[in-house]
A and B are shown apart, each in its own frame.
Chain A
Amino acid sequence: MNASINLVALYTVARREVVRIIRIWTQTLIPPIITMTLYFVIFGKLIGGRIGTIEGFPYMQYIVPGLVMMSIINNSYMNISSSFYGAKFQRSVEEMLVSPMANWAILSGYVIGAVARGLVVGALVLLVALFFTSLHVAHPFIALAAVTFGAVIFALAGFINAVFASKFDDIALVPTFVITPLTYLGGVFYSIKMLGEPWQALSRINPILYMVNAFRYGILGISDVSVGWAFVVMLVFIAALAVAAIQLLRRGVGLRS
């Protein structure tokens, strides 16, 4: 009985999130395409032409997986943090809190919406990349699993950020001070083999490194880290963040008095 209620409720939340993404497509889908096009033009074409190859791939080709993963991470995070905080701000989150739906259904619905935006933006960025370089997907399933897991991780992290946020500024803090630095230092633009110690060892504690390299392996067939280990790291992050998010919902932190 409750399972069917929760499935309908989960579908309702996920559908509402996807409709929202489509309704405000000029805010959700277009800006990341423009930003990534600039990255391809400036870093890939203009500067990349002078860099040569990394691990046997032209620089433009080398950075495509990292930039796709970067856009997926940013968009899944921003989607869930702004949507859930917006619901808190307008108090429309109460519609769900006073309903019989379970906490996991609320969380899953929002995560599905965020992952959908992340993957759609990722696909669009990949399409744009094809205007600049050619790509052969080495391991499609690994590539798909890597982007999906990466999107889920940052959707969960964005949800937790929104739960704690008490003003709109709070949902911009983590992307600015945490995600952006970690992304730039996560091997999007370079191989960590180019770093000396201790920077190479330090880079290995950055979770984004594993996501970028798992996806790079899926696309190009090369990685700075063990792909198996990368998936273990991602699964551990998903489990830990999901448990934390459910606990926050159960305790009503930032939601119930």
Chain B
Amino acid sequence: MSAPHTDSPPALVVDNLRKTYRNGVEALKGVSLTVQPGDFFALLGPNGAGKSTLIGILSSLVNSTGGDAQVFGVSVNRQRSEAMKLIGLVPQEINFNQFEKPFDICVNEAGFYGIPRKLAAERAEKYLKELRLWDKAFHQAREMSGGMKRRLMIARAMMNEPKLLILDEPTAGVDIEIRRSMWHFVSGINAAGTTVILTTHYLEEAESLCRNIAIIDHGNIIENTSMKRLLATLDVETFVLDVNEAPGELPQLNGIAFRRVDDRTLEAEMARSQDLNSLFAALTGSGITVNSMRTKTNRLEELFVRLVEHGRKGPEEKAA
């Protein structure tokens, strides 16, 4: 993957961005963050946290009520057209005319960015082929599967070859094979220099793809750091052990808490600093044979839940 380009302005600077809807809902309460050029950035948060509002403001579909955002130094508020030239958006909801053909959808999209029709047709063919949609290019879009429609939105977003690609839950409801092919494509785009911002509820996706991360909840950024640094803060990990026979009396070992799930399954919660040899020694000493083992949850998922829950506690609870 390409290294961040430190000599150019940040790909995105969000500065004290606020949004209060007419019904009084305060969706963003002064959000600030920076995304460096070439980054693969995860923007995570529970439903209703403000992710889509933030993306809506960046793509000019939502009017902010305070603050500003700059895309490669260009203000979204003051230079909307210039900023939009730099952005490609893959929205959460299907938003193309389902009666049009994928090829026409892509070519028209390019036209909205001022790209001449001949070049637009070449790009449409290129990206529809890369996303394995070329055989459907001249059928009505409504005939495509859900996964194909999502890939079509990625192809469409690539028509202006954006410097900043924003993916709002691009893999929602997509099977694992197609999801992997989408990851492969987007990783390639990122490796070629495009900055990518990804929101997703599949946290293993964010963990494996993204280098930096922000977590938003209730309109506030509650964490903004590198993925490595965030994962390093996870001090406890839980393993699920498939065993030949789980004993009635569980082994006792300092720093490891065992729990019997069923006759053939144990859970072991232990500090990440503790080595696994002591775990296996204790199990062997108790006559337990481990057939296989896996982590109980995705590491990022565990941190995400903790951070969001921590953010929702009152100050007294936090102090406790």
Chain A interface residues toward B at CB < 8 A: 2, 4-9, 11-13, 15-16, 19, 23, 86-87, 90-92, 94-102, 252, 256-257
Taking the nearest CB of chain B, how far is it from the CB of A8, in angstroms?
A: 4
Contact, CB under 8 Å: B59 / A90: no
Q: Is the CB of B91 within 8 A of A16?
A: no
Are the CB atoms of A257 and B114 closer together than 8 Å?
Answer: no
The answer to whether A102 touches B81, judged by C-beta atoms less than 8 angstroms apart, is yes
Partner of A94, one of B61, B85, B113: B61
Within 8 Å by CB of A257, from B62, B84, B91, B97, lies B62
Per the bound structure, the CA–CA distance linking A172 and B168 in Å amounts to: 35
Does B115 sit within 8 A of A, measured CB to CB? yes
Complex Cα spacing A6 to B113, Å? 8
Residue B56 is within 8 A (CB to CB) of chain A in the complex: yes
With a CB–CB cut-off of 8 A, which chain A residues contact B54? none
Given contacts A99-B109, A256-B63, 19 further A-B contacts (CB under 8 A): A5-B114, A8-B114, A9-B114, A15-B111, A87-B97, A90-B97, A90-B98, A91-B93, A91-B94, A92-B95, A94-B91, A95-B95, A95-B108, A98-B59, A99-B160, A101-B81, A102-B81, A257-B61, A257-B63
Bound-complex Cα distance A115 to B15 (A): 44
Q: Are B95 and A8 in contact (CB under 8 A)?
A: no
The answer to whether B114 and A100 touch across the interface, beta carbons within 8 angstroms, is yes
Q: Report chain B residues within 8 Å CB of A13.
A: 111-112
**Cα distance, A94 to B109, chains bound together (Å):** 10
- Cβ-defined contact, A100 with B61, below 8 A: no
A90, B63: Cβ atoms closer than 8 Å: no
A16's contact among B60, B108, B116, by CB below 8 Å, is which?
Answer: B108
Give a binary string over B92-125; 1 marks a CB under 8 Å from any A CB, 0 the rest: 0111111100001000110111111100000000
The size of the chain B interface, using a CB distance under 8 A, is 34
Return chain A residues, CB-CB under 8 Å to B56.
257
Structural contact, B116 and A8, CB atoms closer than 8 A: yes
A96-B89 Cα distance, complex, nearest whole Å:
12
B21 at the interface (CB under 8 A from A): yes
Task: Kindly state the separation between the CA atoms of A94 and B95 in the bound complex, as whole angstroms.
Answer: 7
The total of Cβ contacts below 8 Å across the A-B interface reads 87
* Residues A95 and B113 in contact in the complex (CB < 8 Å), given A100-B84, A257-B61: no
| Interface status of B82 (Cβ within 8 A of chain A) | yes
Across the interface, do B60 and A8 meet the contact criterion of CB distance under 8 Å?
no
Q: B81, A2: Cβ atoms under 8 Å? A: yes
B11 to chain A, nearest CB (A): 17
B87 lies within 8 A of chain A by Cβ: yes
Residues of B within 8 A of A15 (CB): 111
A256 in contact with B81 (CB, 8 Å): no
Q: Which residues of chain B come closer than 8 Å to A12, judged between CB atoms?
A: 108, 111-112
Expressed in whole angstroms, the minimum distance between the Cβ of A85 and any Cβ of chain B is 13
CA distance A30 to B113 in the complex (A): 35
Given contacts A12-B108, A16-B108, A92-B97, contact A98 B61 (CB under 8 A): yes
On whether A5 and B113 interact (CB within 8 A), knowing A256-B61, A257-B21, the answer reads yes
**Inter-chain contacts of A2 with B (CB < 8 A):** 81
When C-beta atoms are compared, the residue in chain A nearest to B83 turns out to be A100
Question: Judging by beta carbons under 8 Å apart, are B111 and A98 in contact?
Answer: no
Give the shortest distance, in Å, between B36 (CB) and chain A (any CB): 23
Q: Which residue of A lies closest to B87 (CB)?
A: A98
Which A residues lie within 8 Å of B21 (CB)?
A: 257
Q: Which of B96, B97, B112, B116 contacts A99 (CB 8 A)?
A: B112
Which chain A residue has the least Cβ–Cβ distance from B62? A257
Q: Which residues of A contact B85 (CB under 8 A)?
A: 5, 100
Expressed in whole angstroms, the minimum distance between the Cβ of A82 and any Cβ of chain B is 13
Closest to B81 in A: A100
Q: Can you list 18 A-B pairs, Cβ within 8 angstroms, ordered by A?
A: A2-B81, A4-B114, A5-B85, A11-B111, A12-B108, A19-B104, A92-B96, A94-B95, A95-B112, A97-B61, A98-B61, A98-B87, A98-B89, A99-B84, A101-B81, A102-B81, A256-B60, A256-B61
Contact A252 B114 (CB under 8 A): no
Provide the residues of chain B in CB contact with A92, threshold 8 Å.
95-97
Shortest CB–CB separation between residue B84 and chain A, in angstroms?
4
Our pick among B80, B109, B115 for the contact of A95 (Cβ within 8 Å) is B109
* A residues in contact with B93, CB < 8 Å: 91
- Name which residue of chain A comes closest to B53, CB basis: A257
A100 to B99, CA, bound (A): 24
Most buried by A among B61, B63, B99, B112: B112
Q: Which residue of A lies closest to B112 (CB)?
A: A99
What residues on B are CB-neighbors of A86 within 8 Å? 97
Scoring A13, A94, A101 by chain B CB atoms within 10 A of each residue's CB, the highest score goes to A94
Smallest CB gap from B21: residue in A: A257
Q: For B114, what are the chain A residues with a Cβ–Cβ distance below 8 Å?
A: 4-9, 100-101
Q: When chains A and B are docked, how far (Å) is the Cα of A217 from the Cα of B80?
A: 47
Contacting residues of chain B (54-92) with chain A, CB-CB under 8 angstroms: 56, 59-63, 80-82, 84-85, 87, 89, 91
Chain A residues, CB < 8 A from B104: 16, 19
